[in-house]
Amino acid sequence: MDLITKVKVSGVNALTDARFFSGAGATYIGFCFDENSPRFIPSEKVYMIKEWLVGPSFVGEFTVQSNPDGINLIADKAGLDYVQLSENFSPALNNEINRPIFQEIVIEGVSELNNLQSRIEERQENVEVFILNFLEDFPLKDFEGVDSNNLNLIWGLTQRYKVIIDTKINKENVLDILQFTRAYGINIPAGNEIKTGVQSFDDSADLLEVLEKESD
């Protein structure tokens, strides 16, 4: 399936997830390596899953509990293409990571857009993609009151960098979010397990259908 934007899927921890999103046209498949997360997956399992997939690139999602040597070891064992870092990591560590970086930037509210450019600039070393993680629903209604400077800032950043939007994205708001931000892509979570070994992809399937390119 060809999509109108790049899609990264986070927290994939089963072959069922990976095969569904790969077949649906996801560009990036993300695997969580935070052992305290319910979405954690060991590197050996990631390597086996990768053998079944053709098309997407693979992103290891790491938190502050990890160190550069440990990250590099996991990236090698799992055969990762990219490493995603939380903002808790020091920017000084970027050069110690031996993969291109997906850098997450957490935004708690519209007011934080004022210093967004400086937060990005201090972390741009070795970064392939910035993931802007809006903790609340993407504030489309609030943007009616955002001044033109912040609007121009967002557009300037999405023209200068590859920016993926991470928020509560669904089939109703995804096109508005893409139109407003002019982003490189979106981040969505992997499917929810409704019982052991059975995943529900209904919401994801509806969203991806909206993003499907029309055939010529």
- For 131-172, the pLDDT digits (tens) are 999 886 666 655 555 566 777 888 889 999 999 999 889 999
Tokens of 82: 């990219």
Band (198; pLDDT cuts 50, 70, 90)? low
Judge contact between 137 and 167, C-beta under 8 A. yes
Q: Would you say 165 and 187 are in contact if contact means Cβ atoms under 8 Å apart? A: yes
Pairing of strands 198-200, 163-166: unpaired
**Domain boundaries of the chain, sorted by first residue:** 6-211
Reported as type and span, the H/E element at residue 19 is helix 15-23
Q: pLDDT digits over 185-197, tens only?
A: 999 999 655 454 5
The residue among 1 and 49 whose pLDDT is bigger is 49
Phi, psi of 76, rounded to the nearest 5 degrees: -70, -45
Calculate mean pLDDT across residues 109-122: 86
Q: Which CATH superfamily is domain 6-211 in?
A: Aldolase class I (3.20.20.70)
pLDDT higher than threshold 80 for residue 214 = no
Percent of the chain, pLDDT > 90? Answer: 67
**Distance from C-alpha of 190 to C-alpha of 123, rounded to nearest angstrom:** 27
pLDDT given for residue 40 in this prediction: 93
Residue 96 near residue 63, CB atoms below 8 Å: no
Q: How deeply is 58 buried, as exposed, middle or buried, from its count of CB atoms within 10 A (0-12, 13-18, 19+)?
A: buried
The per-residue pLDDT for 197 is: 53
What's the sign of the alpha-carbon dihedral 11, 18, 85, 44? Answer: positive
pLDDT at 110 over 90: no
At 121, which helix (H) or strand (E)? helix 116-121
Of 111 and 31, which is predicted with more confidence?
31
